[in-house]
Amino acid sequence: MSAQLKITNLHKRFGGLVAVKDVSFNLHPGEVVGLLGPNGSGKTTVMNMISGALTCDAGRVNVNGVDLTRMKPHRVAKHGVARTFQLVRPLPTLSVAENVLLSLAFGRKRHWGREARDLVEEKLAFVGLAGRGDEQVGNLTYIDQKRMEMARALASEPSLLLLDEWLAGLNPSELRIGIDLVQHLQGQGMTVLLVEHIMEAVRALCSRCIVMSAGEVIAEGPSAEVLDQPVVIKAYLGDDHA
């Protein structure tokens, strides 16, 4: 099976700091893969280079056979890549539906009028916000803001979804809702790259993990095996625990 996402020798430097060093990995269609590591390991920098938010200094990003390296974010989105952020960034003066509707401008297809409104309602229903499109985003709970952000990402009709700590800050019941939603996406064949610190979610969702530390990949493989590797435990907890 050919790779849907192919990352080759990505490199990013900020002044004297090498944030990402020669990172390479692949994702295959329908996989949910965890991109893990302690804070400052370079995970979000990798996500930013895939989505076009940052330009890589070296290396390649290939999605569905297309070289997206150094493309602007709106062009990356046109090639089927969408992302969420750890901190939800709604447009507070717009309704829930209008926030989602805006993402259609960056999707792979053009939708107008009734077709666009139907697509927005479909995505809101998928994430559990059916019938709430007219509400103001300021009235949403935290989990519902996360749901809206997911609907906004899905409205661009991606084939690859980048989730950057989308589950962060949820209480246990909300976390279960979030895990179920990602599993539903997985059941529909969506390919997901998941940056996450919540190991319960990683074990439930990710068949495979890629672990970074200090800008480099230090482990990759089946989640159960990778999370028990001494080099991974050391990266998170230090030498005593490893």
Q: What is the pLDDT, as a whole number, of residue 239? A: 56
Alpha-carbon distance 235 to 135, whole Å?
Answer: 44
For 53-93, the pLDDT digits (tens) are 999 999 999 999 999 998 999 999 999 999 998 788 888 88
What percent of the residues of the chain are helix, what percent strand, and what percent coil, each to the nearest 5? 40, 25, 35
How many CB atoms lie under 10 A from the CB of residue 64?
17
* Residues in contact with 100: Cβ distance below 8 Å, sequence separation at least 6, in sequence order: 120, 123, 124, 133, 148, 151, 152, 155
Phi, psi of 69 (to 5 degrees): -55, 125
Q: What residue segments make up the domains of the chain, in order of their start?
A: 90-158
Q: Which residues are within 8 A (CB) of 203 and not within 5 positions of it... i.e. 6 or more apart?
A: 223, 224, 227
Q: Which has the minimum average pLDDT: 36-40, 99-103, 105-109, 128-132?
A: 105-109
DSSP 133: T
Give the three-class secondary structure for 229.
coil
The 10s digit of each residue's pLDDT in 2-56 is 889 999 999 999 999 999 999 999 999 999 999 999 999 999 999 999 999 999 9
Q: Could you tell me the strand order of the sheet in which 58-63 lies?
A: 17-27, 5-14, 58-63, 66-67
What's the pTM? 0.92
For residue range 20-29, list pLDDT tens digits in order: 999 999 999 9
Instruction: Quickly state the pLDDT bin for 242 (edges 50, 70, 90).
Output: very low
For residue range 134-171, list pLDDT tens digits in order: 999 988 999 999 999 999 999 999 999 999 999 998 99
